Chains A and B, each alone.
Chain A
Amino acid sequence: DVKVTQSSRYLVKRTGEKVFLECVQDMDHENMFWYRQDPGLGLRLIYFSYDVKMKEKGDIPEGYSVSREKKERFSLILESASTNQTSMYLCASSSDPHTRADTQYFGPGTRLTVL
C-alpha cells in the first residue's frame, strides 16, 4: 500500500513564525502536491512538484513556498505565518511521470492553527 505521512497531525504556531510542514511518501512517486482544505471551499492546490527540485504554483501559492530536495520528501514552508493560514493541510502523491492525470494518494493531514 502507498503510504503518505505528514510530520504532524496538529500544530500550533504564532503569527510571524516560520513553519515547516513535511510530507514523505514511500512508493517512489514522481508527483507530489500540497493542498489546503477549508470548510465550504474544498481542497485548493497550493504547490505541486513533478520531479526533484522542480515546483509549480497551484491556485493559491501566496504566502507559501516549497522544497523538494529528495524524491520522497516534499516540504511546505510558511515564511511568516499569519492567522489566515489556519487550516488543514493535505499532502498527496501520484506515480505517473508523464501526466498529472493520475490517482492521488493522500496523507492524513496537518491541522495548523496560527495564533
Chain B
Amino acid sequence: AQSVTQPDIHITVSEGASLELRCNYSYGATPYLFWYVQSPGQGLQLLLKYFSGDTLVQGIKGFEAEFKRSQSSFNLRKPSVHWSDAAEYFCAVVTPSGNTPLVFGKGTRLSVIA
C-alpha cells in the first residue's frame, strides 16, 4: 500500500524568505501526487497536483512542486513567503488505478514571522 511521509511537523520562516516543504512517498510505481493547504479553521484547498508529464508543477498562490522519481519525493516550494501563507500543508498520494482513495501525510505546519 502506498504511504506518504512529511518529515517536518512544524517550520518557521521569515516573511520574504524562500520555503521548501518535504514530501516522500512509498509506492512501487509513480503515483498521483497532490499538495493541499489548510488555513486556520478552514477545510483543505488544492494547491497543485502531478499526474504525469513535466515534473515541475505550478500551482496557485505562487507555489510549485517538483516530482523526483529517483528520490520518491514531491517537495513544495515558494520563492518568497507571505504572512498569509501561514497554514498547514498536506501532501497526498494515490495509485493511478484509482482503486483506493487518497492517502494523506500528517501535515507540516508553517509559521511566518516578520
Determine the interface band of chain A, counting residues with CB < 8 A from chain B: 20 to 34
Chain A residue at minimum C-beta to C-beta distance from B95 = A101
> In the bound complex, do residue A101 and residue B97 qualify as a contact, i.e. CB atoms below 8 Å apart?
yes
Tell which of A90, A96, A98, A100 touches B102, judged by Cβ atoms closer than 8 Å: A100
| 8 Å CB interface, B1-56 against A | 9, 32, 34, 36, 41-46, 49
> In the bound complex, do residue A98 and residue B43 qualify as a contact, i.e. CB atoms below 8 Å apart?
no
> In the bound complex, do residue A100 and residue B34 qualify as a contact, i.e. CB atoms below 8 Å apart?
no
> In the bound complex, do residue B98 and residue A42 qualify as a contact, i.e. CB atoms below 8 Å apart?
no
Tell which of B32, B97, B106 touches A42, judged by Cβ atoms closer than 8 Å: B106
> In the bound complex, do residue A106 and residue B106 qualify as a contact, i.e. CB atoms below 8 Å apart?
no
- With A41-B106, A48-B101 known as contacts, the answer to whether A101 contacts B94 (CB < 8 A) is yes
A-B residue pairs in contact (CB < 8 Å), sample of 28:
A40-B106, A42-B106, A43-B90, A45-B101, A48-B101, A92-B43, A96-B98, A100-B94, A100-B98, A100-B101, A101-B32, A101-B94, A101-B96, A101-B102, A102-B98, A103-B49, A104-B44, A104-B46, A105-B46, A106-B36, A106-B43, A106-B44, A106-B45, A108-B41, A108-B42, A108-B43, A109-B41, A109-B43
